[in-house]
Copies of this chain bind each other. A is one copy, B any other.
Amino acid sequence: MMKRWKITIEYDGTDYYGWQKQPDVSTIQTAIENAIKKFCGQDIDVKAAGRTDAGVHAHGQVAHFDFDWGNREIDAFNLAKAINAHLHPAPIAVVHAEEIHADFNARFDALNKLYRYRIVTRRAMPLMEPRVVWHFKHHLDIDAMREGAKHLIGHHDFSSFRDAQCQAKTPMRTLDRVGITTKPYDPFGGEEIWIELEGPNFIHHQCRNIVGTLVDVGRGKTSPDDIATILKAKDRTKAGMTAPAKGLSLFRIDY
């Protein structure tokens, strides 16, 4: 009997060309579809809530797929186990699976997305998590970054933070929260900074362009109030650099 499954997926995206299936390169979608094929022999189309870019990670990517195993039955626990067994040793894991109603759509039913960006600021390389944090060698002024981030909250035209390749119909997006927290990374002044961005939907590179611009504020290159000017300009060239993919994770999606 045909059933629709909702799966939550964690991955270290370092060595992948993003979520979406493409010829000749490794992608997360390809890895998962291949793993499913290995245990059931079927070509299954796995549809994700959002396409993460090359090098971007996920703690809570969500996807759905339909699967009919004829007379055989499988429960959520064993489905996840079977997929994970065939994903191993790839750094991709199904951390949760559940059967869901046939109308569920991972992309269109998502109400809220939380992205987390990790930065380590100190001179020496962050050795323990070289693949999942952005190493920035200089101290960042967190209060200034928080002040600047306030200007981005709300419903705005985010053209200044939109990648040229973005295929969304509109640059209008609602950003509900930018949470910036910091904790000591070592006893010598090194810090780990988390920038969490939350909203119903994001345009291409929006998170990474916001992070790159807030880092300019943190290092004093841009003032907090400049963020308002940059936003109003609707011009990508006014904002800061695109922060590296490695620091970003699609952390959680709410339905």
Residues of A within 8 A of B (CB): 8, 10-12, 57, 59-60, 80-81, 84, 88, 91-96, 122-125, 127-130, 132, 186-188, 190, 252
Chain B's nearest CB lies how many Å from the CB of A247? Answer: 12
By the criterion CB–CB under 8 Å, are A80 and B130 in contact?
Answer: no
A37 to chain B, nearest CB (A): 20
Interface centre among A57, A94, A187, A252 (most CB of B within 10 A): A187
Residue of B nearest to A57 (CB): B128
Q: Which chain B positions have C-beta within 8 A of A57?
A: 128
Contact: B127 with A12, CB < 8 Å?
Answer: yes
Residues of B within 8 A of A132 (CB): 128
Our pick among B60, B84, B123 for the contact of A81 (Cβ within 8 Å) is B123
Question: In the complex the two chains form, is B127's CB within 8 Å of A252's CB?
Answer: no
Q: Which residue of B lies closest to A132 (CB)?
A: B128
Q: How far is the CA of A124 from the CA of B84 in the complex (A)?
A: 7
Report chain B residues within 8 Å CB of A128.
10, 12, 57, 59, 129, 132
Chain B neighbourhood of A84, CB < 8 A: 123-125
What distance in Å separates the Cβ of A189 from its nearest Cβ neighbour in chain B? 9
Q: Max chain B CB contacts within 10 Å: which of A57, A188, A190?
A: A188
Chain B residues, Cβ within 8 Å of A188: 8, 95-96
**A127, A130, A190: most-surrounded residue (chain B CB, <10 A):** A127
A57 to B91, CA, bound (A): 21
Chain B residue nearest to A127 in the complex (CB): B91
Tell me which residues across on chain B come within 8 A of A129, comparing CB atoms. Answer: 128-129
Inter-chain pairs besides A80-B123, A81-B123, 8 sampled, C-beta below 8 Å:
A10-B128, A10-B186, A60-B187, A84-B123, A84-B124, A93-B124, A95-B186, A187-B252
